[in-house]
Amino acid sequence: SQQGEEDPQALSIQEGENATMNCSYKTSINNLQWYRQNSGRGLVHLILIRSNEREKHSGRLRVTLDTSKKSSSLLITASRAADTASYFCATDAFVDNYGQNFVFGPGTRLSVLP
Amino acid sequence: DAGITQSPRHKVTETGTPVTLRCHQTENHRYMYWYRQDPGHGLRLIHYSYGVKDTDKGEVSDGYSVSRSKTEDFLLTLESATSSQTSVYFCAISGRENTIYFGEGSWLTVV
């Protein structure tokens, strides 16, 4: 089963509005990451937040993490048409002693209308 | 880009044939991953590698094998392709602070 689940599955907003996407996960984590995927392309890393952090900013992105609720949110402020993409959260999961794997949710598809 | 190249980028193959996808990195990272992406499922881990000749299974490994004879190359083989393996395959490496960098994907269609 998936560790991360994004919500909503799809979101449509007008340019200039803010977009908020949520991610819930099931087990303890070391960090949580958000990625963006444009249609037909690979995923691009946006931001990483550690389990001991509650909020992090990067440009127009704001990520929050609530470990007690096992949830995170990604806020994109003043959205632009170029923000149209799918957004994924990924959580880490240790596998034996050999390293980490990363578990992705199904993603939120964001459409920003001009 | 994080120096990850996938080949081929697009391939159509027939059911029952073997297929090998190649991932090449120039970053000298230890960890490499193969994921598949399907609608409604997000990305699912097929196999991963934590070093040369060190590989292990992921969530959806049945029907796939991997090999890593050099740090820079991680090969994914579909031993006998089936229609259910039609998907987009992404190679990834784990970099600094466990940030994952992805290749551009390989679109595979099994007919």
pLDDT band at B52, cuts 50/70/90? very high
Q: How far is the alpha carbon of A46 from chain B, nearest alpha carbon, in Å?
A: 10
Q: Pick the closest to residue A41 from B103, B3, B30, B19 (CA basis).
A: B103
**Which residues in chain A have Cβ-Cβ distances shorter than 8 Å to B46?**
none
Specify the CATH number for the domain of residue B92: 2.60.40.10
The whole-number pLDDT of residue B21 equals 98
Please state whether A18 falls in left (phi above 0), alpha (psi between -120 and 50) or beta.
beta
Q: Tell me how far the alpha carbon of residue A36 is from its chain's centroid.
A: 8
Report strand pairing: A108-113 vs A10-14: parallel
For residue A94, give both structure tokens.
């240790």
**Domain limits for position B77:** 4-110
Partner-chain contact B99 A107, CB within 8 Å? no
The whole-number pLDDT of residue A59 equals 96
- State which residue of chain A sits closest to B59, comparing Cα positions: A1
Cβ atoms of A4 and A104 closer than 8 Å: yes
DSSP secondary structure code for residue B85 in this structure:
G
Cβ atoms of B35 and B89 closer than 8 Å: yes
* Per-residue pLDDT reduced to its tens digit, B56-82: 998 899 999 999 999 999 999 999 999
Partner-chain contact B56 A98, CB within 8 Å? yes
Q: Tell me how far the alpha carbon of residue A15 is from its chain's centroid.
A: 20
Q: Is the pLDDT of residue B90 over 70?
A: yes
Task: Give me the residue from A42, A45, A104 closest to B105, CB to CB.
Answer: A42
Please give the mean pLDDT across all residues of chain B: 92
For residue B104, give both structure tokens.
């551009």
Task: Give me the residue from B42, B58, B99 closest to A33, CB to CB.
Answer: B99
- State which residue of chain B sits closest to A41, comparing Cα positions: B104
Q: How far is the alpha carbon of A20 from chain B, nearest alpha carbon, in Å?
A: 19
Name the residue ranges covered by the structural domains of chain A: 5-113
Tell whether A114 lies on the interface with B, counting CB pairs under 8 A: no
Residue numbers of chain A with a pLDDT score lower than 70: 1-4, 93-100
* Per-residue pLDDT reduced to its tens digit, A81-114: 999 999 999 988 665 544 567 888 889 999 999 9
Q: Which segments of A33-75 does DSSP mark as H helices, in order?
A: none
Q: Is the pLDDT of residue B42 over 60?
A: yes
Tell whether B40 lies on the interface with A, counting CB pairs under 8 A: yes
The whole-number pLDDT of residue B32 equals 93
A25-49 core/surface letters (b: 16 or more CB in 10 A; e: else): beeebebbbbbbbeeeebbebbbbb
Task: Give me the residue from A41, A100, A106 closest to B94, CB to CB.
Answer: A100
Q: Which of residues 3-32 of B touch A (CB under 8 A)?
A: 30-31
Count of domains in chain B? 1
CATH number for the domain whose boundaries are A5-113: 2.60.40.10
Residue B83 sits at φ, ψ, to 5 deg, of: -60, -30
**What 3 state SS string does B4-43 have?**
EEEECCEEEECCCCCEEEEEEECCCCCCEEEEEEECCCEE
- For B43-68, the DSSP string reads EEEEEEEEETTEEEE-TT-TTEEEEE
